[in-house]
Amino acid sequence: MIWAALLEITSGTMSSRRGQHISRKACDGCRDRKIKCTWTDATSCAGCVTAGLYCTFQTTRKRRGRPQRDLEKFRQLKTSGLPNDTSGGDARVYLLPNAASSVTIEDLCPMTTFHSIIEEFLENLYSIAPLIHVPSFNSQVSECLYLKDARFLCLCLSICAMTISSLPRKASIYLPGHYQSSREMVSRAYQLVIASRLATSPDWADNPSSNDMNCSLLLGMASHYTQCPKRAWSLINESIHCCRSLSLYHENGYKEMTTIEIEINKRAFWMLYIVQIAFHSTR
């Protein structure tokens, strides 16, 4: 009974407005008195005729929507490239390069800091993560290959992240002024690697290289060291995918490789094996 009554009332209301002309613009008098503005002739509405008022449209209407100052703020944000959402509470905003630009080492840290971090890695961490051929790597860094080869750039960024996360006592030496912790710098390196991959080879996972595998492995270790386990597992799984795509679990996968490539890929395979077991034990 109740539903029937409601239905009858609703249908009655809808039918009562059917066929009526709805005014799109009310005159000043009807707007101020908040009454319906119904036109009887071409010069004035019924409300103004009854009240003996001049029917005018001189009052400036208030624009609907958010104030104009908010629109100007959004335009400034778009021009400067800043994200609209600053609700994180941190006033420091680090911009990522867009797809039209290229990622560089300077997006992570100054070049002097970069070279110091690389020296630290070769001196103290290479023995536990021997994923590069040192003479070749030094030659490529001196030739600034990271300016031409996006995959080598990602490898350099990953080495920086792994070094900073592995040496927390020395983090204050290598962290530029706009990073408060090694975790922030590792996250920044991860974001830059993602940006570089999307800008240069968005389908890299379909045909990964050894550099891609080592990059994801080093970033996964760095994320694990800085208490980001979910991202660490995602990156390790990424590296395992690269390992399988390169068939490093099978002897035939090494047939067309040079001696140096064979050695580096074997080290990466066994590091993945060890890291996977170690990560499982800490879950």
Total domains in the fold of the chain: 1
pLDDT at 9: 45
Residues 6+ apart with CB under 8 A from 171: 164, 181, 182, 185
Q: Do residues 183 and 241 touch, judged by C-beta distance below 8 A? A: no
Residue 193's CB is within 10 A of a number of other CB atoms, namely 26
Give me the mean pLDDT over the 86-106 stretch: 55
pLDDT bracket for residue 120 (50, 70, 90): very high
Evaluate whether residue 200 is within a structural domain.
yes
Q: How far is residue 192 from each of residues 113, 137, 156, 183, measured CA to CA in Å?
A: 17, 20, 11, 14
pLDDT at 46: 81
H helices of the chain, in order, are 2-17, 28-33, 46-51, 68-80, 111-120, 134-142, 150-166, 171-174, 182-200, 210-225, 229-245, 259-281
Percentage above 70 pLDDT, the chain: 73
pLDDT for 133 beyond 90 = yes
Alpha-carbon span 274 to 281, nearest angstrom: 11
- 173 or 237, which is more confident: 237
Give me the mean pLDDT over the 92-111 stretch: 69
Give me the mean pLDDT over the 45-59 stretch: 78
Evaluate whether residue 57 is within a structural domain.
no
What pLDDT digit, counting tens, does each position of 225-278 carry? 999 989 999 999 999 999 999 988 888 888 889 999 999 999 999 999 888 787
Evaluate whether residue 29 is within a structural domain.
no
Evaluate whether residue 71 is within a structural domain.
no
- 75 or 214, which is more confident: 214
Q: Which domain holds residue 276?
A: 105-281
- 88 or 201, which is more confident: 201
Alpha-carbon span 137 to 124, nearest angstrom: 16
Evaluate whether residue 59 is within a structural domain.
no
What pLDDT digit, counting tens, does each position of 15-48 carry? 444 555 555 578 877 887 878 888 766 677 887 8
Alpha-carbon span 76 to 65, nearest angstrom: 19
pLDDT at 62: 64
pLDDT bracket for residue 93 (50, 70, 90): very low
- Position 213, amino acid: M
Give me the mean pLDDT over the 77-98 stretch: 46
Q: Judging by beta carbons within 10 Å of its beta carbon (0-12, 13-18, 19+), is residue 239 exposed, middle or buried?
A: buried
Evaluate whether residue 275 is within a structural domain.
yes
From the list 175, 67, 72, the residue with the least C-alpha distance to 120 is 175
Q: Please give the span between the terminal C-alpha atoms of the chain, in angstroms, as a whole number.
A: 60
pLDDT bracket for residue 81 (50, 70, 90): very low
Evaluate whether residue 52 is within a structural domain.
no
pLDDT for 86 beyond 80 = no
